[in-house]
Chain A
Amino acid sequence: MSLSGLLQYVGRSLQHLELRLAQAAGFDSFGPALAVNGPQILPQSLHSSDEENSEPSFLDSIFWMAAPKKRRTIEVNRCRRRHPNKLIKVKYNIEPCPSCGNMKLKHTLCGFCYEKVSKETAMIRKQISVMEGGPLNTPAVESVVLYENETPSEADKDKRIVERNRKRPYWFNM
């Protein structure tokens, strides 16, 4: 059998099965249809004449896509979904934080302690922005944060002082 004959047969069989896909090059509005997977029609066999008669239909099957043969039963589905490798593993690396007592992961900072420090830092940054007024006004000296009833010490002589109106938090040591 010639190659051209084979190609013509394939094209005709595809045409026969999916008329709309055959006219994809010049799409005529046949309206929406069932979405069937198949390859693009070969351009030669669009207008092929009916020279050869129908070949055995097993040649069709090479060009179709993989599809499930049978419905997966719920038992099979459960075996896959409930397999131990898909279940969530229990974490054994959780321990109480020594300072606040909430639980934390061993290799991570305690969330509660981090949150309280970041809240205070945000207040300090707000104070600094109020002091500076605008962007790019940062002085070229160190800053030191002083809380209520605190005076700058000898070491803090040349530093910029950031005042906070609350008593010093217990965890903020010099």
Chain B
Amino acid sequence: MAASVVTWAGLAAFGRACGRIRSRLLGSSSTLSPVSCLHTSTELNSKHWERKNLVVYPPQQKDELRRPAEIYHCRRQIKYSKDKMWYLAKLIRGMTIDQALTQLEFNDKKGAKIIKEVILEAQDMAVRNHNVEYKSNLYIAESFSGKGKYLKRIRYHGRGMFGIMDKVHCHYFVKIVEGVPPKVEQKTGFDQAKEYVEQLRNRTIIHSL
């Protein structure tokens, strides 16, 4: 979990091991050819989810279906646990934006207020920058949380023991799409069982007569 009880000796050994690993890595990278490390990151501060908003598609043909507008938004380094945030992200997946906002408004968790702000920002961005006509005609296509950078602190135990406490942070990502949310078919247990039996029946025996 977040805290672990260690001894002084253990920590010293860990430090020595870290030094050894670091020197080994440095040693190995100097012998690698230049082609094999291709970590090309363009700008210093641009992360993937924010860059998805910059994608520009070529103009559509007359007979093509209208491509629904997609808006990507996120908030980084929120002082909250990623596991607790996941429950809220799971709650609003697939809902219309208004339904998601009402559910978050009446939820008592700390992350609910933060997610509500993020979604309102995204809605505003959609109307201003992404050519969305009606601000209610949006739904949450994707919503999930990720681990942010943790700060480490010391938690004091008895008998001179200490543990390392993690000050948890998380990121929250949301993708909002214009239009009516797609209907997700609810599969019953009976349907799943039927599918399984069909899969078993469709198997063929190779190299048989």
Considering the complex, give the chain A residue whose CB is closest to the CB of B91. Answer: A88
Tell yes or no: A56 within 8 A of B by CB.
Answer: no
A105-B7 contact, Cβ under 8 Å, with A32-B159, A32-B160, A90-B91: no
How many chain B residues sit at the interface, stated as a range, is 10 to 19
A88-B87 contact, Cβ under 8 Å, with A33-B7, A103-B102: yes
How many chain A residues sit at the interface, stated as a range, is 10 to 19
Cβ B106 vs Cβ A32 within 8 A: no
Considering the complex, give the chain A residue whose CB is closest to the CB of B99. Answer: A90
Considering the complex, give the chain B residue whose CB is closest to the CB of A91. Answer: B106
CA distance A31 to B103 in the complex (A): 54
Tell yes or no: B107 within 8 A of A by CB.
Answer: yes
- Inter-chain contacts of A82 with B (CB < 8 A): 90
Neighbour of A105 across the interface among B87, B106, B109, B160, CB < 8 A: B106
Neighbour of A31 across the interface among B88, B105, B157, B160, CB < 8 A: B160
Tell yes or no: B17 within 8 A of A by CB.
Answer: no
Interface residues of A in 8-30 (CB under 8 A from B): none
A35-B91 contact, Cβ under 8 Å, with A90-B103, A91-B106: no
- Inter-chain contacts of B160 with A (CB < 8 A): 31-32
CA distance A144 to B87 in the complex (A): 50
CA distance A90 to B102 in the complex (A): 10
- Inter-chain contacts of B5 with A (CB < 8 A): 34-35
Interface residues of B in 77-124 (CB under 8 A from A): 83, 87-88, 90-91, 102-103, 105-107, 109
Tell yes or no: A87 within 8 A of B by CB.
Answer: yes
Cβ A35 vs Cβ B161 within 8 A: yes
Neighbour of B7 across the interface among A34, A81, A88, A94, CB < 8 A: A34
Neighbour of B102 across the interface among A81, A86, A94, CB < 8 A: A94
Cβ A32 vs Cβ B7 within 8 A: yes
CA distance A81 to B86 in the complex (A): 10
Tell yes or no: B57 within 8 A of A by CB.
Answer: no
Interface residues of A in 42-89 (CB under 8 A from B): 81-82, 86-88
CA distance A42 to B182 in the complex (A): 69
CA distance A34 to B109 in the complex (A): 37
Cβ B102 vs Cβ A88 within 8 A: no
Tell yes or no: B8 within 8 A of A by CB.
Answer: yes
CA distance A94 to B106 in the complex (A): 8
Cβ B91 vs Cβ A87 within 8 A: yes
The 3 A-B pairs of least Cβ separation, nearest first, read A32-B160, A88-B91, A103-B102
- Give 20 A-B pairs besides A32-B160, A34-B5, A94-B106 with Cβ atoms closer than 8 angstroms: A32-B7, A32-B8, A32-B159, A33-B7, A33-B159, A35-B5, A35-B157, A35-B159, A81-B83, A86-B87, A87-B90, A87-B91, A88-B87, A88-B88, A88-B91, A88-B107, A90-B91, A91-B103, A91-B107, A94-B102
User: Would you list 24 pairs from A and B whose C-beta atoms are within 8 A, ordered by A residue?
Assistant: A31-B160, A32-B7, A32-B160, A32-B161, A33-B7, A34-B5, A35-B5, A35-B157, A35-B159, A87-B87, A87-B90, A87-B91, A88-B87, A88-B88, A88-B90, A88-B91, A88-B109, A90-B91, A91-B103, A91-B106, A91-B107, A94-B103, A94-B106, A103-B105
